[in-house]
Amino acid sequence: MLRRIFDHILEGDAPAATECVQRALADGMDPATILNQAMIAAMDETGRRFEAGEIYVPEMLVAGRAMQSALGALKPFLVQADLEPLGKVVIGTVQGDLHDIGKNLVALMLQGAGFEVIDLGTDVAPARFVQAVREHEPMLVAMSALLTTTMTNMSTTVVALRAAGLRDRVHVMVGGAPVTRQYADQVGADMYEPDAASAARAARAAAKRRPSV
Ligand code: B1M
């Protein structure tokens, strides 16, 4: 079943991928295994094939759509309804970047961990992050980037938060494939997390302490 989910996502067959995920869950398969071993593995293989020139942007796009659709089937298993609210998180993919699968996964896990998530979507300009912090007063700003050319906008956003006098009121977490802990330190973020599950754990821990700048 994992192999079939992997193949359907790679082929961009959203209905088949979603149906297989539903069947795997109904058979009692662990959601994290489905996510990591089939779904994220299929995205990695898509990226490998794209880099090797074996597929092009349209194929990558349909694989991404199949992934999003299959993630929908996983959602009820990743979000627990009975957790106490822990505060608000403003999340978005940084300016210039349209990748949202990882960001959506992080948003889902944060929701599952008990946060109210304000999702600003993709291609989020620093000024929009600033505006959302003013409006919603979150405890955490979470930024995702998938491109080496856009990750620099994490720094621009931190600078904008600082200029608006808001940086010391929020924790800042960054993540996404090209981002590292060292890069997070460099851009003035408080936290770097490599995946959605660890992002949710770190956010829960951060909710218990004041932001440090
Ligand atoms: Co794009 N793309 N893409 N793409 N794409 C990559 C990222 C790439 C690595 C492919 C490759 O060449 N191997 C490459 C980037 C190279 C680089 O910069 N180093 C690339 C490129 C080049 C491009 C374009 C420039 C292609 C072009 O037009 N010539 C273009 C850029 C468009 C833009 O953004 N301006 C482009 C477009 C696209 C699509 C639109 C077709 C599509 C996106 C669809 C969508 O997101 N709705 C797409 C896809 C699907 C990919 C790959 C194949 C898959 C990305 C993905 O969803 N992975 C990708 C290759 C790859 O990643 N292996 C690739 C699964 C997802 C769950 O992982 O987002 O890493 P990820 O999230 C992880 C962690 O990183 C972490 O948690 C998740 C796991 O639990 N995480 C966080 C993410 N955000 C976090 C935030 C946190 C904490 C953890 O805290 C706040």
Residue 154 near ligand 1, beta carbon < 6 Å: no
Q: CA-CA distances (angstroms) from residue 160 to 40, 153, 155, 168, 191?
A: 33, 10, 9, 12, 18
Residues of the chain within CATH 3.40.50.280 domain(s) are 88-206
Which string of DSSP letters, residue by residue, matches 99-145? --HHHHHHHHHHHHTTEEEEE--SSB-HHHHHHHHHHH--SEEEEE-
CATH top-level class of 88-206: alpha beta
Which pLDDT value is given to residue 20? 98
Least confident span in 44-53, 103-112, 119-128, 136-145: 103-112
Residue 109 near ligand 1, beta carbon < 6 Å: no
Rounded to two decimals, the pTM is 0.95
Q: CB–CB of 171/156 below 8 Å?
A: no
pLDDT at 82 over 70: no
pLDDT at 122 over 60: yes
Return the higher-pLDDT residue of 113 and 25.
Answer: 25
Tell me what the mean pLDDT of segment 107-119 comes to: 92
Nearest to 164 by CA among 126, 192, 190: 126
Nearest CA residue ID for atom 82, ligand 1: 175
Nearest CA residue ID for atom 26, ligand 1: 57
Fold of the CATH domain 2-80: 1.10.1240
Residues of the chain within CATH 1.10.1240.10 domain(s) are 2-80
